[in-house]
Structure 1
Amino acid sequence: MSHHPPVDPESFATPLQFAYWVPNVSGGLVVSKIEQRTDWGYDYNKQLAQLAENNGFDYALSQVRYIASYGAAYQHESTSFSLALLLATERLKVIAAIHPGLWHPGVLAKWIATADQISGGRAAINVVSGWFKDEFTKLGEPWLEHGERYRRSEEFIRYVREIWTSEHAELNGDFYRLHDFDLKPKPVVGPDRPHPEIFQGGNSTDARGMAGRVSDWYFANGNTPEGISEQIRDVSDVATVHGRSVRFGVNGFFIGRDTEREARDVLREIVDKADREAVEGFGSAVKQAGQSTGDQKGMWQDSEFADLVQYNDGFRTGLIGSPEQIATRMLEYKRRGVNLFLLGFLHYLEDVEYFGREVLPIVRELETAELERV
C-alpha cells in the first residue's frame, strides 16, 4: 500500500463522492449473458435511487441512448427519467446525459431550470458529444467529424451557462446564437453552485481541452491511477490558463465480495459469458470513432475485448475485490486528484447496499487517517 502524500492536502480534505450509472436502458451495465438482477424500468429505478441516497451516493447519472444498440434493446429518455428520480428522492443529485445536436441549448436550459426548481437545486447535465453515428443519421441529423462535435459541445455549454446566469444573454457562435434573452425562472443558486453542474466525458485531446475551458466536471473512462493522473494534469493545465478549476470523476465497475477470490470469480464469469457479437460490434463502432481523432487519443483506443464488456472500461479501474482492497484502491485515485467515482454494478440493489454497508465506512476511515498524517 503506497503512502505518498495527496496531491493537494486542502482538496483531499473534501470527502470522496459517489455516483452510480442509472440502469435506464435494458441489458444492465455489462454486455454479458450472465444473470443480472437489474431492471431498466421505473419502479426498480425509483427503489434503487432511494436506496442509493441512503447508502452514501451523492449523484445518479441517467444514460442517453436513442435507439437499440449493443445489448441495450430498450431505453428510457434521460431528462424525463432524471426528473422522475429527482421527485422520488430528497438529497440525490441526478445528472441527465444529453446530446448537443439533438437538443436546442435554450430549450434544454429551460427544461433543466424547471427540473432544478422542482427538485430544490438537484439537477445536473452530462454533455455527451456522441460516438454513435446512427443516433444522429437515423434521426436525419448531420453527423459532424470528431473535432467539430467537441466544438459544438463547447459552444452548447457556453450557451447554457450564459442563459442560466445572465439577464441579457448574448452569444454569437458558429453553431448557436443568443440575442438579449432572459430566462425566468433561473435555476436554483446556492453556495458554490451558481447554476446546475455541467459534466462531460471523453478521453481525446479535444475533450480534455473543452473540459478545461468550460466544464465543471470531467468524467474519465476507467483507467489505472497513472492513466488518470495524465488526464487530470492535461485538463487542469488548460483550466489554470483560463482561471478555472475542474473536478474529476472516474468510471469504475464495482465487484465487492467478502474475499478477492469471490470477486474475481464474478468478473471471470461476466467475461466468459460476454455477448461476443454485441461486444465486438460496440468495439468496432467506438474504435472507429476514436481513430477519427487527430492524435488517436479517443476513448476506447487501447481497450481489450474484456474491457469492452463494460461500456466505459469500468473493469480497468480495479474496484474488484474485498471491501478493504476496494477502499484502498479508491484512496489511491483520490491522492491523484479524483473527486468522485461513477460506479456500475451487476446486481444493483444488492451491490449498492453492500457498498454502503461494507466499503464506504472503510473509505471514510482511510480518508480520516490520511488527513491526520498530513
Structure 2
Amino acid sequence: MTTNDSSIKFAYWVPNVSGGLVISKIEQRTSWDIGYNKRLAQIAEASGFDYALSQIRFTAGYGAEYQHESVSFSHALLEATTKLKVIAAILPGPWHPAVVAKQIATINHLTEGRVAVNIVSGWFRGEFAAIGEPWLDHDERYRRSEEFIRVLRGIWTEDNFNFRGDFYRFTNYSLKPKPIDPQPEIFQGGSSRAARDMASRVSDWYFTNGNSVEGIKAQVDDIRAKAKANGHSVKIGVNAFAIARDTEAEAQAVLKDIIDQANPEAVHAFAHEVANAGKASPEREGNWAKSTFEDLVQYNDGFKTNLIGTPQQIAERIVALKDVGVDLVLLGFLHFQEEVAYFGKHVIPLVRELEAKAEAKAGVRVQAAE
C-alpha cells in the first residue's frame, strides 16, 4: 500500500469513554477499557491508520457513564504501538497551558514525537459547572483557546518565554527539555465563525463535523482563504461514522437499526445542550445548527458524511472529499476492533488505488501541457 505526503490520512476516535459512538441501544462491541483500546490501537496501526484521537469528558452524560482521562490514556496507547500518532484532547480551563506543555513535551520524548494535542474550546456548560470552572461566552472560549495555543508554541520553542494575554501570563519561563522536532501538531475543532477564524491563524489542523461534500468544500475554501491572508496554512480533517459492508443494503440496514434503536431521551438532551451552545455564538449557530434527530444520534454528525455502503462506494466518497481539500478523515465505528480491521483491509487499499490513478492522470495532463 503506497502512501506519500499527499495521501489522505485516516484517524479513529479512541473509545476511552463508555457508551460507544452512537446514542443508541444497539449492540456496540466496543469497550472503553485499556486492554481493548491497546489492542484496537495495534489493529489500527497495522490497518493503515495514521492517527487516533482520544476524547475528553469530565462528567457522565448521553450514555457516557465512564471516562478515562485523555493524556494518560493516549500515552498508554503510544506505548502499545510504534508508528501510530495519538492526539490527546485538551480542555482549556481545567488544564493550564504550562501543565500541558510539560506533559506533552515529556510524552513527546518518550514516544519519539508521536503525540499531538486537540484543543477543545468546550460547549457543555453543565460540565464546567459540575467541576467549578467559570463558563465563558462563546467567542471568549475561542479567544482563550487561541491564547492557549500561542502559549504552547511559545513554551515549546522559546527560552525565557514572556506572554501577556487576557487569560494567561508568563514571565521568563523556560521549559527543558523542549519537544523534539517536528513540534507536536495542534488540532482544533468547531464550525462557528470564531472557530474557523482561530484555525486560520494558529492551528495546524482543523476538525469539522460531518457534512456533505458541498458543505465541507465551503468550509475548506473559507478557512484556506483566511489562512493564506494570515500567512498561515492549516490542514482539514472531517468527522465520519463509517458503516462498510459487503453490500449497500447491509450497510443501510445497520444505519436503520442504529436510528431505530436510538435513545430518544438522551438524544433530545444532547440536542438541547448543543442548541444552547449554538445560540451562544454571535451568528447563533454552532456545530449542530442544522442537525436532525437522526444526525444527532452520532455525536458529531458522522452520518452526514455518508461513508455508508460498500468499500468501493466509501473509497470513492473519500477521494471526493480529498478533491475538495480534506486531508484527513476521522472515523467512528459501531464495533471498533473488527470494523477498523475490515476498513483497513477493504477500504484503504481502494482509496490508495484511486489516489494513484488520479496522480497518474494528473501527470499525463502535465506532460501533455508541456
Query: TM class, shorter-chain normalised?
Result: over 0.9
Q: Which residue of the partner structure matches residue 7 of structure 1?
A: none
CA drift of 1:141 comes to 1.0
Q: Deviations over 1:253-294 (max 9, x none)?
A: 000000000000000000000011111100110111011111
Please give the residue correspondences for 1:325-344 in structure 2 after superposition, counting only pairs within 5 Å: 325-344=313-332
Aligned to 1:318, which of 306, 309, 318?
306
CA drift of 1:234 comes to 1.6
SS of aligned partner of 1:73:
coil
* Matched length: 359
1:74 aligns with 2:74: no
Contact between 2:59 and 2:130, CA under 8 Å: does it hold in 1? no
SS of aligned partner of 1:110:
helix
Flag structure 1 segments of 5+ consecutive residues without an equivalent: 1-11
Q: Deviations over 1:215-238 (max 9, x none)?
A: 000001000111111111121122
Please give the residue correspondences for 1:24-173 in structure 2 after superposition, counting only pairs within 5 Å: 24-173=16-165
CA drift of 1:297 comes to 3.2
Give distance in 2, aligned partners of 1:319 and 1:196.
29
Q: Which residue of the partner structure matches residue 251 of structure 2?
A: 263
Q: Which residue of the partner structure matches residue 366 of structure 2?
A: none
CA drift of 1:296 comes to 2.4
Q: Which residue of the partner structure matches residue 174 of structure 2?
A: 182
Equivalent residue letter for 1:327:
A
Q: Deviations over 1:150-196 (max 9, x none)?
A: 0000000000111011112111100001111111011111xxx2x10
Q: TM-score, with normalisation over the residues of structure 1? A: 0.95
1:247 aligns with 2:239: no
Equivalent residue letter for 1:276:
P
Q: Which residue of the partner structure matches residue 300 of structure 1?
A: 288
CA drift of 1:13 comes to 6.7
CA drift of 1:105 comes to 0.4
CA drift of 1:94 comes to 0.4
SS of aligned partner of 1:97:
strand
- Please identify runs of 4+ aligned residues in structure 1 that moved more than 3 A: none
Give distance in 1, aligned partners of 2:310 and 2:304.
16
Contact between 1:32 and 1:274, CA under 8 Å: does it hold in 2? yes
SS of aligned partner of 2:347:
helix
Give distance in 1, aligned partners of 2:149 and 2:82.
27
Flag structure 2 segments of 5+ consecutive residues without an equivalent: 363-370
Q: TM-score, with normalisation over the residues of structure 2? A: 0.96
Give distance in 2, aligned partners of 1:94 and 1:81.
10
Contact between 1:24 and 1:63, CA under 8 Å: does it hold in 2? yes
Give distance in 1, aligned partners of 2:319 and 2:249.
21
Aligned to 1:281, which of 269, 280, 283?
269
Contact between 1:205 and 1:297, CA under 8 Å: does it hold in 2? no
Give distance in 2, aligned partners of 1:80 and 1:313.
27
